[in-house]
Structure 1
Amino acid sequence: MAGEFDAHERRMWAGKAVPYGRTFAALCGAAVPELVAAAGVGAGTTVLDVGTGSGTAAAAAVRLGARVTAVDAEPGMVELAAENVPGADVRHAVLPELPFPDASFDAVVANFVINHVEDPAAALAELRRVTRPGGRVAVTVWAATGNTAMGLFTEALDAAEVGRPVFPTLPVDFERTPEGLAGLLAGAGWQDPEGRQLAWTHRVSPEEFWQGPASGIANLGLVITGLPAATAALVKEHYDRIAGGRTGADGLLALPAAAVLAVARR
């Protein structure tokens, strides 16, 4: 049975597939090339993409010639990924219980997923179960430092003097560092885990970026969409002012992004 954190995640992502695909999917998708490479994905590889979202990692694996199965806990994401990646077998499944026999896949990838399940260690152990001996796993999470993108929204909320509720957090958290993520994999039974930092610049128009939380995506989205109309409009005014002062000559924001990638073998 889902605990408080998992139940919150299900509510938070319900019905958000299409706006996610139009907004934050590009930000998250920037880590995919290194993710699939680290997992050793190639022609003929059987791959499981867990928490596929809009299907970005699944699509990358299909382009490499892999035989791809993708799962997500949100039915809307399953529908969207199936539409975006017709070459993949896309199914509904919720960690930490997957509907596959032991040793089903050569490689498993999970892009910004492990931090969205109540028991990350149990989830990683389940990924190990469905990976063949010698197979690889590659996972990403947002790094503890180096990310400033969401600060645009928190600055706007602070300027509008909007308080934030306390949302459920992971009962047992882990360090969002290469060492912390590699240690989490080791604790779940994976062999030779290695972690490293990824960094890139996300270029996006201020309005497109705003549409993520304005559509209710993530905890900040729950805050913004839960505001009275007048307060939400005030937050948007502050956001427009702050973001407008940080755009380049092309009218785009250049947002630093940092993630941790960890890989290990079964």
Structure 2
Amino acid sequence: MRRMSMTLFDESERLVWAGRGTAYAGSYARLCAHPVPRLLDVAEVGQGVRLLDVGTGPGTVAAAACARGARVTAVDAEPTMVELAARAAPEADVRVAVLPELPFADGEFDAVVANFVLNHVGRPRLALAELRRVVRPNGWVALTIWAAPPAPGQTLLGRAIQAAGAVCPPHLAAGLAPEDDFPRDESGLTGLMGAAGLRGAVCETLRWDHRASAEEWWSGPAAGVACGGRTVQSQTPAIRAEIKRHFDLFSEEFADEDGVLTLPHAALLARARG
């Protein structure tokens, strides 16, 4: 039975990420780790802070917070991610839980962080309201999401998929309902946080160059990681070969003399009081 808060987008996300923990850890996890120190700084995570890390993935944020002496609880919707996170942050309480219904009491945490999580929920405002519920009054909620329009490094795979004439399978095509979507820019994110009842939201744009070999960058799509990877895997062998050919061609725009890619990325980092 579908939960009342579950949308078609949420169901698609569960399918996309099912069993993909190890493949994600070996491909995109290093990219998504870039904002972690700044994310923990703005949430004022330090010794003794009761922290909830929502959407922990392979446990990158949880492990970094434990190293600061925080008392960490970490959750993710995908069991294979939870297994990895429990190994990465053995001091943390790591468990499966799915936004926007978290199994915690009101005001249980001093701070809540969500690193690249809001991109993956069907009702972002409802998810933020749940983060506000579980943080103590005046505690911090801090998060990152990918910015739009995307930076050039973020569009490499999508360009290759489009150039190959690949079609996204219907079960991956579900988007947010218009009433649930929001502009993926600084004002759009702070406005959404305010609408969820968070106070004093501020946002900044982070820009950085991610360095990776073409082989590493292709390993995620090849293993079916994220919507792009599942789209790649759903194609015929001929179309998959065309995607890879275009991927290699477009990768040359970012490659140095050693073949290492320099991929520009941009993300939004925001925080607000509960």
TM-score by length of 2: 0.93
Query: How much does 1:150 deviate?
Result: 3.5
Query: Residue 230 of structure 1 corresponds to which residue in structure 2?
Result: 238
Name which of 111, 134, 137 aligns with 1:130. Answer: 134
Superimposed CA distance per residue, residues 215-266 of structure 1 (whole angstroms, 9 cap, x where no aligned partner): 1112211111011123212321222232135311232110111001110111
Task: Say whether 1:169 aligns with 2:175.
Answer: yes
Aligned to 1:150, the other structure's residue is in SS state helix
Distance 2:128 2:162 in 1: 37
Query: Residue 159 of structure 1 corresponds to which residue in structure 2?
Result: 163
Distance 1:241 1:233 in 2: 12
Query: Residue 16 of structure 2 corresponds to which residue in structure 1?
Result: 12
% of aligned pairs identical?
A: 51
* Residue identity opposite 1:169 in structure 2: G
Give the count of matched residue pairs.
266
Task: Say whether 1:253 aligns with 2:258.
Answer: no
Distance 1:146 1:121 in 2: 22
Distance 2:67 2:192 in 1: 30
Contact 2:52 2:74 in 1 (8 A): yes
Contact 1:149 1:256 in 2 (8 A): yes
Distance 1:122 1:158 in 2: 33
1:73-84 residue pairs with structure 2 within 5 A?
A: 73-84=77-88
Name which of 191, 199, 217 aligns with 1:191. Answer: 199
* Residue identity opposite 1:116 in structure 2: H
Superimposed CA distance per residue, residues 165-194 of structure 1 (whole angstroms, 9 cap, x where no aligned partner): 461111110111111111111111111111
Superimposed CA distance per residue, residues 139-162 of structure 1 (whole angstroms, 9 cap, x where no aligned partner): 111011352223222232233232
Query: Residue 213 of structure 2 corresponds to which residue in structure 1?
Result: 205
Contact 1:52 1:81 in 2 (8 A): yes
Aligned to 1:101, the other structure's residue is in SS state coil
Name which of 92, 107, 118 aligns with 2:96. Answer: 92
Structure 2 gaps, min length 5: none
- Residues 156 and 146 of structure 1: CA distance in aligned 2, closer, same or farther (over 3 Å): closer
Distance 2:119 2:246 in 1: 30
Structure 1 gaps, min length 5: none
Contact 2:169 2:234 in 1 (8 A): no
Aligned to 1:230, the other structure's residue is in SS state helix
Distance 2:55 2:146 in 1: 15
TM-score by length of 1: 0.96
Distance 2:144 2:162 in 1: 29
